Amino acid sequence: MCARDDIYVGRIRYSIVTNVISMCTLIPALLIFSHYKQLSSVSRIRLHKHLFTSLFFHAFISSLLKWHLLSAGEQHTRTSQVLTSLCLILSVLLRYFRSTTYLWMFNEALYLHQLIKHAFTQPPLTPLIILAYILPATTTLTYIIIRAITDGVTISPANDLIAISSMSKNLSHAMGGSRNSFNVSLNDTYLEKLMEVIEEYEDVSPIVEEDKCWLMPSPNTWLEWVINAPNLAILIMQQMVENI
């Protein structure tokens, strides 16, 4: 949140471009899997379709949210509350599809393991589908409830930035007055350097001015582990399954 605007905007645009490239490669793959009946009937291909669909929605929602960040400095209108609600929904969906992606990667490893273990039987896909969609929904819903409660009593870092900005402005004015009152040549260079730093950061970027959409991680860092811990555990389990 303390990054320079030009660097931060450049990273956002880079992220949008990479997400668009991902979508452009995922769409043909999904069309091929859906068009040929021979492929659609194969269970492994069905797992691939679920994984690619999850990746597509993650890239699509991420692009919309990054685009929202670029347009965060626009004037508020009567529809701003609707846009904020839509942004919040997209932010929650982004976390959900990120978790489903981890689950589908795990399901593919688990399915291949079951094929090797039971060579003459077809492992069922229904339990894997239920697991991949219900578990992320549970962790995401838990995250929503806890963050909605904690955000009501926690000071946002954006508010701290705004407060620091106001203090820096007052400090710069006071320093300017003191420099005019006291002509101390030894401190002129120091004061000028310090005022340049203050003036550089005294305007808070509209990108990080307010985080009503939960685009940034929660100020309570432990809360992010409600989603990240299951994802990390799934990665570990996937490695264990692949090495068996």
What is d(CA 121, CA 115) in angstroms, rounded to the nearest whole number?
Answer: 8
Amino acid at site 217: P
* Token pair for 230: 């299951």
Domains and CATH numbers, the chain: 1-164+209-242 (1.20.1070.10)
**CA 176 from centroid of its chain's CA atoms:** 41
pLDDT tens column, 24-60: 999 999 999 988 888 878 888 999 999 999 999 999 9
To the question of pTM greater than 0.75 for the whole model, the response is no
3-class SS shares of the chain: helix, strand, coil, % to 5: 80, 0, 20
Q: What is the predicted pLDDT for the residue at 82?
A: 55
Q: What is the predicted pLDDT for the residue at 208?
A: 45
Q: Would you say residue 224 has pLDDT above 50?
A: yes
Contact call for residues 165 and 204 (beta carbons, < 8 A): yes
3-class secondary-structure state, position 77: coil
* Token pair for 212: 């009503």
What is d(CA 44, CA 52) in angstroms, rounded to the nearest whole number?
Answer: 12
Q: What is the predicted pLDDT for the residue at 31?
A: 93
Of all residues in the chain, what percent carry a pLDDT higher than 70?
A: 68
- Find where tokens 């896909």 sit: 125
Residues 6+ away with beta carbon under 8 Å from 206: 72, 73
Mean pLDDT of the chain: 77
| Cα end-to-end distance, the chain, whole Å | 43
Q: What is the predicted pLDDT for the residue at 21?
A: 97
Q: What is the predicted pLDDT for the residue at 39?
A: 83
Q: Would you say residue 19 has pLDDT above 70?
A: yes
DSSP state of 151: T
pLDDT tens column, 164-175: 444 444 544 544
Quote the strand ranges of the chain, DSSP E: none
Q: Would you say residue 75 has pLDDT above 70?
A: no
User: Quick one: 19 exposed, middle or buried, by C-beta within 10 A (0-12, 13-18, 19+)?
Assistant: buried
Q: What is the predicted pLDDT for the residue at 221?
A: 86
pLDDT tens column, 134-191: 999 999 999 999 999 987 644 344 444 444 444 444 544 544 554 444 444 445 555 5
3-class secondary-structure state, position 162: helix
Mean per-residue pLDDT for 185-204?
A: 51
Mean per-residue pLDDT for 2-14?
A: 77
